[in-house]
Structure 1
Amino acid sequence: MAAGSMWRFDAIGTVWEIETSAPLDDPARQAVRSLIDAFDRDWSRFRPDSLVSALARGAGAVAAPPDTAAMLDAYAALADATGGAVNPLVGASLERLGYDADVTLTAAGAPLAAPRDWRRQLVWTPDRITLSEPALLDVGALGKGRLVDRVLAVIAERTEGDVVVDAGGDLVARGAPVRVALEHPYDPARAIGVVEVADAALCASGSNRRAWGDGLHHVLDARTGEPVRTVVATWALCDSAMRADAIATALFFDGGERLAAQWGADWVRMFSDGRAEWSPGCPAEVFVRAG
């Protein structure tokens, strides 16, 4: 990328890196920070003033934030594709296992299965989100990707040229292609492959990230509330970061590859025994043996 600006900062519990070929002025940076704060205030289960926390306390109904339909409609597609393994009401089990608002990383009991009839309990319209009984939403399967898309849109309105937005491994590139390594889940100094990203998004998920205790990590099967054991890392390349993020989550379960095909996403996933699979025609160069 031509000389421009590199902006690095911490937000929503991860490191952001925004690189642009043209300088990014202070008003543009403030617009990005305001957007991230507003999204976090709506969807974070880690802050007591969020809409998610209000619903968990029993608010019943709240005004729908701008991202409601896009994200919850995508969750419905994820649930259908994975037989209910992905479910936005999985937050209670994450909290029970220690990935709670205080990030205690200490399990407080056995895993909790999320409600299988979550679409009866959680209802959304363009104007409102309603929960028939208190529950803890978690949009981690695709929320960061959605925010990355929105940050790119804010920057694209304010600057021309090449842009790369990278939020802790959820990356979108506009303009010049970017070559990205696929980090080995057992050794961050190594890669299992590389892929070129151009006018697209690449999102990754791994059981080595946000992991704690005895085999606990953040990717849970909502049907049981337990961490996934067979798949250890996934990568998805798609037209939007939200969809890439969603596919990266879905690939931990049966059905994820079918949803990827429906959404036109390429993907790679690695299993705990070191095998890897990838989609037909995937542009990534993968170094490990095929499954």
Structure 2
Amino acid sequence: MSVWRFEAIGTSWEIETSAPLPAVARSAVEELLAAFDAAWSRFRDDSLVAALARGAGSVPAPRDAADLLETYAALSDATDGAVNPLVGASLERLGYDTAYSFAASVPVPAPADWRERVRLDDGHLTVAEPALIDVGAIGKGRLVDRVAALVATHVDGDLVVDASGDLAVRGRPVRVGLEHPFDPTRAIGVWTVADAALCASATNRRSWGDGLHHVLDARTGGPVRAVAATWAVAPTAMRADAIATALFFDGGARLAHEWGVQWVRMLTDGRVEWSPGCGAEVFGATASVEP
């Protein structure tokens, strides 16, 4: 396998292909990543979401906007509002801001009426008043899907796109360790993934201060406390990432069942749960959970 490693959208990427990726393909991937970042990054002053946060009422809608907002609507309904694309201001309030200040203030909830504030109109993404959209892990999952599809048009055979926790696999199966959130040198299990995507989320990643991390409950603006890590396997990385996010909240397991997504999660008390019929090999005595 040929491996291409690089940094993009603030994270590490690794693309494995059965044959070296031609220069034209690498350029196309870089252009795709740059365009996505220019649209959705809340860490860039010149992005479209930054313009909306500053006061621009409308910007040209990125090509992913409809699918991302539709996914957020499903997650919001399933989790009773715990997942919300306007959580960006809540993250900044806790110090996860453009300057990475990590200086936390009192948490603020995200607006519960986000669907009335954010809409798509005639090819434009519009906000009723300034608001900071954060598509988070779900956006990264969407990007992994698009990169995998693009790379597949340039090379035949096996393909793995790994964006630091978001993994898309085409061709030969890949055996993936499920990193222990309390000890990164250990795994709580392994999962063999074939022609699917595996996405993970954990509170020990992008964490700072005393109990502060990037997984927030939009209803309070504060970090989640009951779940430490989640993993989900689905046909697309966007759906896998969506379920990995939803599993931090009540309702996530039911949505996973409705979407046919397998999952594993570890609670902060050390217990491990998984979906019925899950294909992961989980170490130790734990329990499956009915939706």
- Partner AA of 1:101 in structure 2: T
- Rounded Cα–Cα distance in structure 1 between residues aligned with 2:101 and 2:258: 38
* % identical equivalent positions: 68
- Rounded Cα–Cα distance in structure 1 between residues aligned with 2:111 and 2:62: 23
CA contact (8 A) 1:43 1:52 kept: yes
2:102 corresponds to? 105
> Which of 151, 176, 181 is equivalent to 1:180?
176
- The offset of 1:13, in angstroms, is 1.2
1:78 corresponds to? 75
- The offset of 1:288, in angstroms, is 3.5
1:36 corresponds to? 33
Greater mean alpha carbon deviation, residues 49-58 or residues 120-129: 120-129
- Rounded Cα–Cα distance in structure 2 between residues aligned with 1:66 and 1:171: 22
> Which of 237, 244, 247 is equivalent to 1:248?
244
> Which of 270, 275, 279 is equivalent to 2:275?
279
- Partner AA of 2:196 in structure 1: A
- Rounded Cα–Cα distance in structure 2 between residues aligned with 1:245 and 1:86: 12
2:256 corresponds to? 260
CA RMSD across the alignment: 0.9
- Residue-by-residue CA offset, 1:157-215 (whole Å, 9 max, x unaligned): 11100000000010000000000000000111100000001000000000000000010
Matched, 1:129 2:128: no
Distance 1:68-1:175 versus aligned 2 partners, 3 A rule: same
CA contact (8 A) 1:16 1:168 kept: yes
CA contact (8 A) 1:114 1:224 kept: yes
1:207 corresponds to? 203
- Partner AA of 1:236 in structure 2: A
- Rounded Cα–Cα distance in structure 2 between residues aligned with 1:71 and 1:100: 22
CA contact (8 A) 1:274 1:288 kept: no
Q: Structure 1: which 5+ residue stretches go unaligned?
A: none
Greater mean alpha carbon deviation, residues 10-19 or residues 117-126: 117-126
2:51 corresponds to? 54
Q: Structure 2: which 5+ residue stretches go unaligned?
A: none
> Which of 214, 235, 238 is equivalent to 2:234?
238
> Which of 130, 140, 144 is equivalent to 2:140?
144
Matched, 1:224 2:224: no
Matched, 1:92 2:89: yes
Secondary structure at 1:158 match in 2: coil
1:9 corresponds to? 6
- Residue-by-residue CA offset, 1:125-170 (whole Å, 9 max, x unaligned): 4611110010111111401100000000110111100000000010
**Paired residues for 1:20-31 under 5 Å:** 20-31=17-28
- The offset of 1:65, in angstroms, is 0.5
Distance 1:126-1:277 versus aligned 2 partners, 3 A rule: farther
- Rounded Cα–Cα distance in structure 1 between residues aligned with 2:170 and 2:117: 39
**Paired residues for 1:160-171 under 5 Å:** 160-171=156-167
- The offset of 1:269, in angstroms, is 0.3
- Rounded Cα–Cα distance in structure 2 between residues aligned with 1:232 and 1:79: 20
- Rounded Cα–Cα distance in structure 1 between residues aligned with 2:122 and 2:74: 18
CA contact (8 A) 1:68 1:126 kept: no
- The offset of 1:263, in angstroms, is 1.2
- Partner AA of 2:10 in structure 1: G
- Partner AA of 1:244 in structure 2: A
- Rounded Cα–Cα distance in structure 1 between residues aligned with 2:244 and 2:108: 23
- The offset of 1:73, in angstroms, is 0.5
- Partner AA of 1:289 in structure 2: A
Per the normalisation by structure 2, the TM-score is 0.97
Per the normalisation by structure 1, the TM-score is 0.97
Aligned length: 287
- Rounded Cα–Cα distance in structure 2 between residues aligned with 1:289 and 1:272: 16
- Rounded Cα–Cα distance in structure 1 between residues aligned with 2:264 and 2:282: 8
